[in-house]
Amino acid sequence: MGEIINLRRARKARVRREAGVVADANRAAFGRTKAERARDAEERARGERVLDGARLDGEESSGLGAGCGVIRGGVLGSGS
């Protein structure tokens, strides 16, 4: 026969292991210092400034992408 185990203890141990995995992921995602968060925010802002500086004249930063028209008068891109 096999080893006798307490099912309640085994279930609780499994839950603790799974919670530990989630906790490790949260520590990696959210466990950063204020200086690290500020540095990352500055890097993102610098990248956005570089992209905005390379923007061609007449382009809008709508985020819709090329070829996306504006709905006017119920017809896409008719302009009237």
Instruction: From first to last of the 80 residues of the chain, give the pLDDT tens digit.
Output: 788 889 999 999 999 999 999 999 998 888 888 999 899 999 999 999 999 888 887 666 555 555 555 555 555 555 54
* Distant-in-sequence, close-in-space partners of 79: CB < 8 Å, separation ≥ 6: 72
Q: For position 68, what pLDDT does the model report? A: 54
* Distant-in-sequence, close-in-space partners of 76: CB < 8 Å, separation ≥ 6: 69
Whether pTM > 0.85 for this model: the answer is: no
> Taking CA 32 as the corner, what is the angle to CA 63 and CA 51, rounded to the nearest 5 degrees?
25
* Distant-in-sequence, close-in-space partners of 73: CB < 8 Å, separation ≥ 6: 80
* DSSP 8-state symbol, 55: P
